[in-house]
Structure 1
C-alpha cells in the first residue's frame, strides 16, 4: 500500500474524519478526484503545495495521510504538463526519483474513504513555493494576481514600468 498526503483546509477535517476525502477537484478532462503527493523522505517536497494553496484563501492547511493499493491506477505529472497514467507505487517511485520533484502532483480519480485514512496532522504553514517552483526573484504574472493581494499593486506598477509618484512640492533630489 502506497502512502499519500492530501492537503486540505483545517475547516474540512471534521468531515474528512467522518466521511473521508471527497472527489471535489477536477483534472484537465473534467474527471472528478483529488490531488495528492506521495510521502517522500523530504518534508519540503512532500508538503511543497502548502504556500501555493494558502494563496487561494485557505487560512490553515492540514495534511491527511492515506493509503491506496500499489496497483491502483493514478495520474502523475508536473502541474503544467500532461499527466501519465501509472499504478500508484510507480507514480510514487517516479516522483521520488526525480532530480527536482517540485511542481509534481498525483491525481487519484476517486474519493478516499474514511477507513483508508492513516492519520490527520498539522503541517508547517510556510513550507513550499509560491506562484511556481524556482520563482524566487522572478515577479509573478501581473494578470495572475488577485485584486487586493499583498504586494499586487507594486508588482503591476513594476510590470508596466510606472515610475514612483512624487508628492507635490517634493523633487526627486529630496
Structure 2
C-alpha cells in the first residue's frame, strides 16, 4: 500500500482517477483500489492497469517494491517527456509492459534486458505524426532485446531508431515473437 501511495503522490490526477486510493478506513485495502489487482493466493499486487487515466507527473521509485507485479499499463498518460525509469527493469516477474502514448522521452533504458519473463512490450507513440519525433523515445542500440526471449508482442512504432545497427538481428533472436509492429519499416 505504501508503494502505491508514494506512486500516487508523484502524480497529478486532475480527473480524480485515483480517488479510491487513500488512507481512509474505507480505502485501506489497496486491492480494492481502481486499477490495482492482487493475487487471490498471496494478496500481493500483480497488476497495475492505469492506461488512459490522463495521469501526469513522475513515477516514484518506491513502485519497485511491488516485486510480484506481472502487468504494468501506463499507456495514454502524460509523463512530460521524462525518461522511462530504469528501475522498471527490476520487475523480474513482469510479463506485460505497455507504455505506449504515455509521452515518455529519452533513451530506452538498457535495464529492460532484465525483464526476462516479458511477453508483451509496447513503447509505441503516435507523436511522430504530430511532429514531435525529435523528443520521442529513442534507442542507440537494441543490445538489451535478445534477453527478452519470451517476447511475443513487440511494438516500437514511432520510436526513433535512427542509427541503430543490427536491429533486425536482435529481433530475429526472439524465438517466440509473433507480433512485431514497425519491424517491416526498419529493414
Q: TM-score scaled to structure 2, two decimals?
A: 0.27
Q: TM-score scaled to structure 1, two decimals?
A: 0.29
Q: Which has the larger strand fraction?
A: 1
Q: For the pair shown, which has the larger CA radius of gyration, 1 or 2?
A: 1
